[in-house]
Chain A
Amino acid sequence: MNDLDAENRLRFEQLVLPHIDAAFNLARWLLRSREDAEDASQEAFLRACRFFHGFHGGDARAWLLQIVRNTCYSWLEKNRPRELVVEFDEELHLQPVATPESIAIADEGREHLNRALESVPPRFREVLVLRELEGCSYKEIAAITSIPIGTVMSSLSRARRQLHSALANSSQKEAVREV
């Protein structure tokens, strides 16, 4: 990450570094794993540094998140290509990824929501994360995901419906288990 001269390094620290949480959060939700998110966002920061001279002001968060997103997708293509082709499939996706971390989370409601969100396919999961967690405008979402701005609304609508049905579905299953 040492391609920057002193002046650009300072600019990078002021403009790009404050968005480290946004970068990590998007990667975590796209890759469904904290460890993989660390690797991918580190790679994204490397790239951001290398191409920083090509960034001429504007929305630094959107610029960084675009790089994070592209890095995550190429990571998925390399390591878990199946995730990119499957459509929303409740049976496949609702199986919890059991990690010590997920077991340790005591809060059932939150765990529920985690699993439901992770079951939404990545192309829709990302618009949900950008809108609901990151608070991005439609214009920013379009810039980050390279989908036309006119499509953001319908993508969000589909994504929300999928999350809604995933939530309804999993609470139904819980109820069955309790009986």
Chain B
Amino acid sequence: MRCDFADSILHGYFDGELSDAGAAEFERHLQHCVQCAVELVDLDLLSGRLQVAQIYEVAPAPFRKKIRANLRPAAPTPAPASPLSRRWLAAAALLLVAFVVWRVIPRFHGEEDYQVRFASGIVDAHLRSLLPGQITNVSSNNPQTVRAWFEGKVKFAFPVGDFADYGFSLRGGRVDVVQGRTVAALVYANREHLLNVFVWPTGEQDASPREGSRQGYQWIDWRKGNTEFCAVSDARASDLQQLQRLFMK
């Protein structure tokens, strides 16, 4: 007979969606239900297969351009004009087109390319870190130990905190390279999710958080006091937002 839990609670447990008490209860059940134990491994295999196959389909570049282009405001429809002012209008339109070609389009594409490159660089670095043995160079839940380890390894200072009371426990840190830039990476665990917070110095002014997702990974990026932070994980967007707020405290 099939175990009832195999078609219900097991999935909640696998997805990390049960309450702590619920998870503990299911673990007790697991100890004597062979079927659920086997199903759990199957679920993990299936999920792994979907991840490894990389079947996530990103939006094609021409499509991105089209969506962005559609967002640009339409030129106001000209009122019926006399022949003279029509000529002026034509000249003005020509100027406008020249201006758009010269200033607006390069900036638009530049910004979009940057966003795409930035997101893929960050997500790649996160995925790389999940390979066995790559996640931390220093493993400690003590912020002072981690901060001391970074001194001399990177040329910039930044705050290190442990937020275990809020569900984000510090695991350690490492030095990483993202798109040719040396960055510090702080590692946190939140339930079954690992989070990387990449930190590097910036000359840009402070900025409120920008968010995005790529290949199923969320990222949130913000700047404060000549330092840029970017958190990335497969955790929920709301969890990343919470971590961001903890960092800003």
Please pick, from B11, B55, B115, B213, the residue contacting A22 in the complex, using a CB distance under 8 A. B213
Residues of B within 8 A of A158 (CB): 7
Cα distance A12–B71 when bound, in Å? Answer: 9
Contact call A110/B54, Cβ cutoff below 8 A? yes
Q: How far is the CB of B51 from chain A (nearest CB, A)?
A: 8
CB closest chain-A residue, reference B75: A2
Cα distance A46–B7 when bound, in Å? Answer: 39
Cα distance A2–B69 when bound, in Å? Answer: 10
Interface of A (DSSP majority class): helix
Contact call A138/B17, Cβ cutoff below 8 A? yes
Contacts A17-B67, A18-B115, A19-B212 given; 18 further ones with Cβ under 8 A?
A: A2-B71, A14-B210, A19-B213, A20-B67, A21-B56, A21-B213, A41-B59, A42-B63, A45-B70, A61-B213, A135-B216, A138-B15, A138-B17, A140-B236, A153-B11, A160-B11, A160-B46, A161-B7
Interface residues of A in 1-50 (CB under 8 A from B): 1-2, 4, 6, 9, 12-15, 17-25, 28-29, 34, 37-38, 41-42, 45-46, 49
* A-B contact number at CB 8 A: 127
CB closest chain-B residue, reference A23: B59
Does B82 reach chain A (CB closer than 8 Å)? no
How many residues of chain B have a CB within 8 Å of chain A? 48
Residues of B within 8 A of A45 (CB): 67, 70
Does B237 reach chain A (CB closer than 8 Å)? yes
Does B47 reach chain A (CB closer than 8 Å)? yes
Take A1-B70, A45-B70, A137-B17 as given contacts and tell me if A114 and B213 are in contact as well, using a CB distance cutoff of 8 Å.
Answer: no
Does B224 reach chain A (CB closer than 8 Å)? no
Binding site for B on A (CB under 8 A): 1-2, 4, 6, 9, 12-15, 17-25, 28-29, 34, 37-38, 41-42, 45-46, 49, 59-61, 107, 109-110, 113-114, 117, 131-138, 140, 153-154, 156-158, 160-161, 163-164, 167
Does B64 reach chain A (CB closer than 8 Å)? yes
Cα distance A133–B73 when bound, in Å? Answer: 34
Residues of A within 8 A of B49 (CB): 113, 167
Contact call B50/A132, Cβ cutoff below 8 A? yes
Contact call B8/A24, Cβ cutoff below 8 A? no
Q: How far is the CB of B199 from chain A (nearest CB, A)?
A: 21
Residues of B within 8 A of A46 (CB): 70
Contact call A113/B59, Cβ cutoff below 8 A? no
Please pick, from A1, A135, A157, the residue contacting B71 in the complex, using a CB distance under 8 A. A1
Contact call A25/B58, Cβ cutoff below 8 A? yes
Contact call B11/A59, Cβ cutoff below 8 A? no
Residues of A within 8 A of B56 (CB): 21, 25, 133
Contact call A18/B212, Cβ cutoff below 8 A? yes
